[in-house]
Chains A and B, each alone.
Chain A
Amino acid sequence: MEYILILLLPIIGGLVYGVERVVRARMQNRIGPPILQPFYDMFKLLGKEPIMVNSYHIVFALMHLITLWVVVALIVLGYSLLYIIFLHLLSSLFLVLAGYSVNSVYSHIGSNRELQTIVAYEPILIFVAIGFYMIYGTFDIAIIREQSSAIGELLLLFFAFLLIVPIKLKKSPFDASEAHQEIVGGVELEFSGVFFEILYMARWIEYVFIYLLLFLFAGDNILFATVLFVTIFLLINLIDNATARVKINHLVRIVLIGGLSLSIINIVWLWI
């Protein structure tokens, strides 16, 4: 069962992405694309002639996708949360390397910004894991999933986690690393055809990654997990539509200072 789920990951991610585009369109009073639009895009991209700038660029993008897939697979199989966070860091670093491996200004700026966002969210992600450790005495996701929800004790860490969600999903106000209107997608810029599809698919899996982490806050309560998912999904898209982009250095400052203080206060509170 789990293995089938793992194989179908991109499809699930693609569907979430498709639904999201419709939801966003409705929020803006548009009709929006069909839900399967991401897959139509995929077939179109796959049919194009393969073009590349250099082989490193492609290899790193491919490794980004593969590592991310492995990361989500490990979450599904219930491995150690701390290890998963570090492996996810590896996948993000592959993306950064891809951006650096071409001689293109926008690509480099994208990578620089990607790195800065990593600086901002990585410590907080680990603090979230530590919060779970303090409640359940383990980093193992399999065990965390079988316990009852601890969102009450971890409320501040949950808010810190919410700061990260728009970064990872490239949503306003924290989408400076991609910033279409400004640096034309950053790292994505130099990819085309089938290789662009690699990044596109990686983004779908990133969606699954972040929402699976969100489910951890719900513990073993599936109903609560669903409610949480729907609420956060709508909230993130609402905020995306309602806010403007924040500059990258402000992003780092807001997320790092805000997130870290929330995390530390939460952990001190847990200890008391």
Chain B
Amino acid sequence: MGIQLLIFLPLLFAITLPFNSIRVRNVVTYIYVFFLMFITLNIFLNSSAITLNFPHIYHQIFIFIDSAVLLYFLHQALKYKNKLVLLFALVQIILFGIVLLMEPSANSYDILIDSVSLVMLLVVNIIGGIIIIYALKYIASEDFKECKKNLFIAILFFFLGVMNLLVSTNNLEIFFLAFELTTLCSYILIRYRLDDLAVQNALRALWMNQIGGVAILLALIASIMYYETIYLDVLLKVVDDMFLLPISLLIIAAFVKGASIPFDRWLLGAMVAPTPVSAILHSATMVKIAPYLILKIAPAFSPMLAMLVLYFGSFVFMSASILALSKDFFKEILGYSTIALLGFMMAMAALGTEEAIQIVLILIVFHAISKALLFFQAGILEKVYHLKYLHDIDYLASRSKLVVFFVLVGFASLTLPPFGAFIGKFSSIELLSSLIEENIFYVFPLAFILLGSVFLTLLYFKVVTKLLPKTNEEFEEVEIPFTYKFTSFALVALLIGGVYVSYLYSFLGTTEIVISSVLIVVTMLMLFVVNFKNVKIVKEYNCAEKDDKELGAFYFEIPALYKSIITYSVIVLMCMILIVGVL
């Protein structure tokens, strides 16, 4: 029962929201979010495996919605005269027709919830919920009609509902529906501002994501033709190493959603949307489909396929980290680091062992929290301090200690012990080291991961470079709105809770966790609480140079050659994944 509530309640919330006044919107949203979190926790704590079948009428409705969505894409393509959108919409309509004509024989459950799905539900609803509360305040300060603001919140709820459906379904047809609906949600959210750039980027996101849709439909057709099933669990059981095409195609769909190079441009283009959209795309929803899908289908991988996905993921991890070094826009840097980390998660998910699954889950959860926290800060910088680019955020430490604190915690949680991202990296190095003894080909992914993680560290420091220096210049005191502070602190609390959970599951030894936690806490206390009184304060010596110098963050120009090498390598890897599927 609970799971149906999780899927359909957000849709109901979305329908009831658009016609309210501001005050009702605020109160109602808080209640809705609280409700969603409550149900999720209830499901998480009470149940093991849930299975369920939808009545026949639901399937009819689903097919109707599917057709409606595809027709809407077609309509948008014609409206904006976009050939790529048109092409993929038409291809999808034809393929979808073929799928409907075919009659698979094997049956199973429509809804099947395992431990991976449970963790995903937790991420979607809890972190998604916090983001919606943040969005409430953010959107209130935008310059739109009230009705449109209500719509924004409504779509976010709708998005959560769709994600709940996506992570709990076992039926590939329903999975396709949910997949298309997430594409639709992201399309609407990205073009929310409706200026030229927003529309253009939204259309790009649309056609790229439609490639994923095409891949899923082809996977469906292949699966029905050779294995007579549309159910994932059946497919995983009967699939034969000689014909892995459905699996390969699903992998491609995952790459698209995960914005892996060469599909990275849609996620970066999504930056034009209001910041909560980035927060929700990067942390709780959308891109997390990628590692989730790979985790689900990994049991069916042949050793060759697993190795290829591992190579692809770790290579993307390294390349995206390098590409990010040349960026100067806070949100863009966060975007590339998402792409990189998703590559990493997919690589680990491909290994498919018990330990690898745990690593990926912990990465999914912590990455969601950290990214949400960092995007919240990007939003605060934009709304409260009117800062967008890295070179503008000089002297932030003198303006707002709180934001600096959150940014530091956010980056620390992506790199340092005892936080989850570190644990993921640490455990995966251990895991790969033990695998090397069996197969030497693991050594290159390992090298990619090591290089990628140092480049990522370098990247995070690029942001920190200009954060810390203080100045005697007086800045106006600006109060950060309560909602922003509250949601950010909630995420910090989740981070700390996560450390406790990883302690319970003993991913790291007790001493290791305690030592690093103490070091981090002591640093934070000394930075933000302790005052050095009896020490004389002087200006920088700077070798007594008199001229004023403007400090900048470091900058790397990535040669075009490297970029094309990266693109071609990933395309070759993708082709190999497809070829392995057929052979």
Residues of A within 8 A of B (CB): 49-56, 58-60, 62-63, 66-67, 70, 74, 79-80, 82-83, 86-87, 89-90, 93-94, 96-97, 100-108, 111-112, 115-116, 118-119, 122-123, 126-127, 130, 133-134, 139, 184, 189-190, 260, 264, 267-268, 271-272
Bound state CA distance, A60 and B520, in angstroms? 11
Which residues of chain B are near A271, meaning CB under 8 Å?
A: 436-437, 440, 443
Q: Which of B409-427 contact A (CB under 8 A)?
A: 416-417, 422, 426
Assuming the contacts A90-B516, A103-B471, A103-B551, asked whether A53 and B540 have C-beta atoms less than 8 A apart, the reply is yes
Closest-CB distance, B204 to chain A (whole angstroms): 32
Q: Nearest A residue to B430 by beta-carbon distance?
A: A82
Bound state CA distance, A242 and B538, in angstroms? 39
Q: Determine, out of B186-194, B292-300, B521-529, the stretch whose residues face the partner at the interface.
A: B521-529
Q: Nearest B residue to A184 by beta-carbon distance?
A: B543
Number of A-B residue pairs with CB-CB distance less than 8 Å in the complex they form:
161
Assuming the contacts A83-B417, A127-B450, A260-B447, asked whether A106 and B543 have C-beta atoms less than 8 A apart, the reply is yes
Assuming the contacts A56-B470, A105-B549, asked whether A87 and B516 have C-beta atoms less than 8 A apart, the reply is yes
Query: What size tier do the contact residues of chain B reach?
Result: 35 or more
Bound state CA distance, A93 and B426, in angstroms? 17
Assuming the contacts A63-B523, A96-B461, A118-B457, asked whether A130 and B433 have C-beta atoms less than 8 A apart, the reply is yes
CB-defined interface of B429-440 with A at 8 Å, one 1/0 digit per residue?
A: 110011011001
The binding surface of chain A is classed by DSSP as: helix
Q: Does A126 lie within 8 Å of B429, measured CB to CB?
A: yes
Closest-CB distance, A77 to chain B (whole angstroms): 9
CB-defined interface of B174-202 with A at 8 Å, one 1/0 digit per residue?
A: 00000000000000000000000000000
Q: Please name 8 pairs of A and B residues whose Cβ atoms are closer than 8 Å in the assembled complex, sorted by A.
A: A51-B538, A63-B522, A79-B511, A82-B426, A87-B515, A105-B542, A260-B447, A271-B440
Q: Does A90 lie within 8 Å of B417, measured CB to CB?
A: yes
Closest-CB distance, A119 to chain B (whole angstroms): 5
Which residues of chain A are near B543, meaning CB under 8 Å?
A: 106, 184, 189
Q: Nearest B residue to A94 by beta-carbon distance?
A: B523
Q: Does B465 lie within 8 Å of A86, measured CB to CB?
A: no
Q: Does B436 lie within 8 Å of A100, measured CB to CB?
A: no
Bound state CA distance, A104 and B461, in angstroms? 17
Bound state CA distance, A97 and B511, in angstroms? 25
Q: Does A63 lie within 8 Å of B526, measured CB to CB?
A: yes
Tell yes or no: B539 within 8 A of A by CB: yes
Which residues of chain B are near A79, meaning CB under 8 Å?
A: 509, 511-512
Which residues of chain A are near B465, meaning CB under 8 Å?
A: 100, 108, 111
Contact of A190 among B509, B526, B540 (CB under 8 A): B540
Q: Nearest B residue to A50 by beta-carbon distance?
A: B535
Q: Which of B501-517 contact A (CB under 8 A)?
A: 508-509, 511-512, 515-516
Which residues of chain B are near A66, meaning CB under 8 Å?
A: 519, 522
The binding surface of chain B is classed by DSSP as: helix
Q: Nearest A residue to B467 by beta-carbon distance?
A: A100
Q: Does B526 lie within 8 Å of A54, measured CB to CB?
A: no
Residues of B within 8 A of A (CB): 397, 416-417, 422, 426, 429-430, 433-434, 436-437, 440, 443-444, 446-447, 450-451, 454-455, 457-458, 461, 464-471, 508-509, 511-512, 515-516, 519, 522-523, 526-527, 530-532, 534-543, 545, 549, 551, 554
Which residues of chain B are near A189, meaning CB under 8 Å?
A: 541-543
Contact of B430 among A51, A62, A139 (CB under 8 A): A139
Assuming the contacts A82-B430, A90-B519, A100-B468, asked whether A119 and B455 have C-beta atoms less than 8 A apart, the reply is yes
Closest-CB distance, A88 to chain B (whole angstroms): 12
Q: Does B532 lie within 8 Å of A58, measured CB to CB?
A: yes
Q: Does A50 lie within 8 Å of B540, measured CB to CB?
A: no
Which residues of chain B are near A107, meaning CB under 8 Å?
A: 540
Q: Does A126 lie within 8 Å of B540, measured CB to CB?
A: no
Which residues of chain A are near B527, meaning CB under 8 Å?
A: 55-56, 59
Bound state CA distance, A133 and B537, in angstroms? 49
Q: Does B458 lie within 8 Å of A103, measured CB to CB?
A: no
Q: Nearest B residue to A71 by beta-carbon distance?
A: B515
Which residues of chain A are near B455, meaning CB under 8 Å?
A: 119
Bound state CA distance, A267 and B437, in angstroms? 9
Closest-CB distance, B410 to chain A (whole angstroms): 15
Which residues of chain B are near A86, meaning CB under 8 Å?
A: 417, 422, 426
Assuming the contacts A87-B417, A90-B416, A123-B454, asked whether A54 and B515 have C-beta atoms less than 8 A apart, the reply is no
Assuming the contacts A56-B397, A63-B523, A100-B469, asked whether A264 and B447 have C-beta atoms less than 8 A apart, the reply is yes
Q: Nearest B residue to A101 by beta-carbon distance?
A: B468
Which residues of chain B are near A139, meaning CB under 8 Å?
A: 430
